[in-house]
Structure 1
């Protein structure tokens, strides 16, 4: 449905009157039978087949957004595509490095985007959960998916969300991100619907399930048509690709009402407004009706389907915490409120203390925190780290040692520091505070064994050792290399490292030191196989030559470039020796214009005004 249908990115309202009228008809079609006390048209759900585990999900990319917020890109075998999942790590993640923490899955609405969860974009999940001892799991994406396994791909998407969320992702989180097998799941609108049916369809997956403004009957008269309209409007999806034709078994199999008996033993939280103007709405000229017309109808729909669902739970003697709010429409401020209101129940089900851990900051760390209002409240007490102590705050971490003093590490640089294993990693402890750079583009912070640089385009990157020394000699970020764009990495088959910068990578080996390769010379070096080629590692920086040309020396030869000749290598050996006698590119042959290539009895290389052949180890110069 238009505007905020089934959980949008804010109260956008109706796009036009035609959509408003059509949605109103759909709401009426579903509301009238429910208001009359009629049950959904489907019978109780059949037993659902267990989805077989799918082996092989892997994390192929990790980006630390802060010291306790991380984005993972998981290669999903079932969906055959990378899926982004963001984690808000538990409060004690740093203080108890061997501990495991319950996981709380939080699902988005129908208009979920592929860049960020609504829980962090539209609601205050980051700040709210900062002092909570659960790891929050935020799937990113899933527009119009209902977080289910679709019968067939549609609109360019191969949705297998149920398999991903319940079979693929949990083992990966448990093995690599220290979650336990104690899980809860909650969601808004479409996500609230999914939270209930995922808990029902997957026994023992969740100890807690919460629905905020969810539609909790999907097979009621008129409901399949409303869902079809919503999917079309949200992105051109077809509900038949999701669950087949209305009345089919997949509709019944994903209906929370039909699955109610499967929720015994799950702690349930259900809430909805009533569609009338509430504290987060703007009143229209009609008494009790806000300007969020779409949100009004959708919240009425949520209320009525929730009432039917709750009535079914009552008949089954399944307890639930139910909050029917006296006002409110279908929009994020109300769901943010419900996230906070439901926390004590979620915490009890997950076995964690719902309250903030008492803590205070003292000494050098306390003095710094008191003068840095942006750090916010402390989350932990002071604890030992390699070389010193640390304390976690809402805004970041503060590290202290007698030799370096107290320094905060926060934001994306704090995330980069976590990615580099913090004080126990190669950087050691911070030696200064984060500061902006003169170019206005980036920020940096110094550490005992290197530096962290950040820009919005490049992210946070560590620079250290010989590469840092050479980069600094050239002028750091103001020099020809620009900012680092990737972490240092070992070269795969030779003993060295490489790090990419905006204008070319630095290569390092103990024999050659650190040197940058750039431009067309870098392109040729890549074509040859980088350091794995006969050229080996670079041995000097790029040097200007005649006719606006340039060259770089390598262990096993040089690469030359000029505007007229292009980039070509000349390997150490007979051809290089003869060319050097002639004066290299300044001699009569000029620049190389080809690679070496085989000829009968030997090999040859071409130059601008001639060529050199080698037979029986003897070079011979030929003019054109």
Structure 2
């Protein structure tokens, strides 16, 4: 398996179908003139603090957080609400965007149309680092601890910093692709009420799925640990533990096992069918891993939606002809965007 193909499993690599102009984003309107917020020094309760900030334009800023939960620093790309500067006392709904495996905090900004989507939206867009294979959890670490603590970093440290430094409200939505789709649904289920809406694009929604067909006949946990976790230098038993001996740990984070906890959360799920579609380059090889893996993801998505539907939860489920690649995730974010904005009452300023 080539490095490129391995990276494309969870959503790091783009394809030729992503336009260069999208990777550069769209110039953001600044709203009315006012001072830039200063985030350096803003702290969470446990002492995690912002140690650097860098504005790229009046509304786009990268911050670096010295995280206690992670034991190291991590970065976050933030897009401020359109009227942030002119409404100094307002609080703002928040949209979290979670990247896929081998991606980073810049992935959504580089490969999607998020800048254009929020050009005149009063929403705080937060795109945090989630580790190349962090899997949006506080790692079990063989039962000895919880580092790296991605879940605590995102939902405690970062959330408190956003509230204190940028007046983030408690109206939140979360969306993610592949590994980030797992994160979106796992976070929403593990913390009922924290998010009003959750969206998954080609997400890993059943980490205890019995196979990864047509990629492998192995159970998903075995395949994940042997194909990605161990080869990248991680201890296979540190993420969630052994899939059999620590099955309860796996299940406690598995979206398909947590569907009862999603009642009251508006859900959006979309996934391709693993066939070459309209956004794939003409030369796409049908045997490419990005094609076959999307078919495997669809099996997980169908199982998750079946369990959600059985409970009569509020879910929108979309399938399409397409592969496990960025052009589809960028398109799906655009389709889900109005749904997410309605859920958190994020208004538009027109234009």
TM-score range, shorter chain: 0.7 to 0.9
Q: Distance in 2 between matches of 1:270 and 1:165?
A: 22
Q: 1:110 to 1:142 in 2, by over 3 A?
A: same
Segment drifting more, 228-237 vs 269-278: 228-237
In 2, are the aligned partners of 1:281 and 1:291 still within 8 Å (CA)?
Answer: no
Compared CA separation, residues 239 and 130, structure 1 to 2 (3 A): farther
Report matched runs for 1:170-569 at 5 Å.
170-221=159-210, 222-232=219-229, 235-247=232-244, 248=246, 249-284=248-283, 290=285, 293-325=288-320, 327-353=321-347, 356-359=348-351
Q: For residues 258 and 342 of structure 1, do their structure 2 counterparts lie closer, same or farther at Cα, with a shift above 3 Å needed?
A: same
2:153 aligns with 164
1:257 deviates by 0.5
Does the 8 Å CA contact 2:130/2:136 hold for their aligned counterparts?
no
Preserved CA contact (<8 Å) 1:283 1:291: no
For normalisation by structure 2, the TM-score amounts to: 0.82
Distance (Å, rounded) in 2 between the aligned partners of 1:234 and 1:344: 39
CA separation of 1:141 and 1:319: change in aligned 2, threshold 3 A: closer
- For the structure 1 residues 72 and 122, does the alpha-carbon distance in structure 2 shift closer, same or farther, using more than 3 Å as the test? same
> Gaps spanning 5+ residues in structure 2: where?
17-43, 211-218
Q: Which moved more, 1:138-147 or 1:188-197?
A: 138-147
Whether the 8 Å CA contact 1:270–1:306 is kept in 2: the answer is yes
Cα distance, 1:63 vs structure 2: 1.1
> How far off its partner does 1:232 sit?
3.4
SS at match of 1:2: helix
Equivalent pairs, count: 307
Match of 1:4 in 2: 8
Query: Once the 2 structures are TM-superposed, how far is the Cα of residue 107 of structure 1 from its aligned partner?
Result: 0.4
Match of 1:372 in 2: none
DSSP 3-state at the match of 1:323? strand
**Offset at 1:3?**
4.1
Provide closer, same or farther for how the CA distance between residues 3 and 358 of structure 1 changes in structure 2, counting only shifts above 3 A: closer
Residue 229 to residue 132, structure 1, CA distance change in 2 (3 Å): farther
The residue number in structure 2 matching 1:75 is: 66
- Structure 1: give runs of 5+ residues left out of the alignment: 13-52, 360-624
SS at match of 2:255: coil
TM-score (ref. length: structure 1)? 0.47
- Offset of 1:177 from its aligned partner? 0.9
RMSD of aligned Cα (Å): 2.1
Secondary structure in 2 matching 1:126: helix
Which whole-Å CA distance do the structure 2 matches of 1:87 and 1:101 have between them? 13
Deviation at 1:64, TM superposition (A): 1.0
Deviations 1:414-441 (A, max 9, x none): xxxxxxxxxxxxxxxxxxxxxxxxxxxx
Aligned equivalent of 2:112, options 112, 120, 123: 123
Deviation at 1:347, TM superposition (A): 0.8
